Amino acid sequence: MNPFGTIPVFVGLTKENTKLERNKIAFWTCFNVLLILLISFFAGTFILSFFGITLNSLKIAGGLIIVSSGFALLTGEFNKHKGMEKKSVKKNIENRSEISLTPLAIPMIAGPGTISLLIAYNKEFQEWNQILIILGAILMATTCIYLILRSSFYIVKSLGASGINALSRIIGFIVIAIGVEFIASAVVGVLHII
């Protein structure tokens, strides 16, 4: 998840709203993200079983998506990668009054990489203490996203476009490393099976 990469989209979509309206949109965006993450985590096992997908296959596919998102962040093409070019965002916003679910919650914040990671975690971590740690991390992440979106106009003023760009690129490099690690662990798992 990259809330800093979402800031320019959030600011662009809410610049005509009042501060109270922006805060409500930030809250509902984070609430939607929380629901998406919880559903992904708890329904993950059923989704894998229903489609007959192995955990290693999901890890490789999710890792490729995560790496792809990381490259998009690193090259400054994150909005295009998420299908959020300026023209399409303006066109969609004219046709829809509610932006907290789409495009903000999905695909900008909780994209396929995040969802596949949580589905894999559901299969991998079964003990109660591990589940509680993951739920705590989800709650902490969504709280941080809310605080970032709520203060997005201040962040834009203080960092500027180049600062947000630089931060997104640093996050992109870290995201690529996470995706590669995800793929590597799946490949090791496949080699152990063979």
| Per-residue pLDDT reduced to its tens digit, 40-84 | 999 877 887 888 888 788 888 888 887 887 788 777 765 555 555
Are 22 and 150 contacting, i.e. CB atoms less than 8 angstroms apart?
yes
- Sign, Cα dihedral of 94, 95, 99, 103: negative
Q: Stretch 185-193: mean pLDDT, rounded?
A: 86
Alpha helices in 76-127 (DSSP H): 78-81, 86-95, 112-124
When comparing pLDDT for 194 and 52, which is higher? 52
As a whole number of angstroms, the distance between CA 6 and CA 79 comes to 8
* Interior angle at CA 80, CA 79 and CA 82, nearest 5: 65
Question: What is the structure's pLDDT at 120?
Answer: 85
Least confident of 46-60, 128-142, 146-160: 46-60
Domain ranges of the chain: 3-193
As a whole number of angstroms, the distance between CA 163 and CA 140 comes to 24
Distance of CA 158 to the CA centre of its chain: 24
**pLDDT (tens digit, 9 = 90+) per residue, 82-115?**
555 555 545 544 434 478 887 788 878 888 788 8
Question: What is the structure's pLDDT at 89?
Answer: 47
The pTM of the full predicted model, rounded to 2 decimals, is 0.73
**pLDDT (tens digit, 9 = 90+) per residue, 110-132?**
887 888 889 888 888 889 999 99
Q: Stretch 135-151: mean pLDDT, rounded?
A: 95
- In this predicted structure, the answer to whether residue 133 has a pLDDT above a threshold of 90 is yes
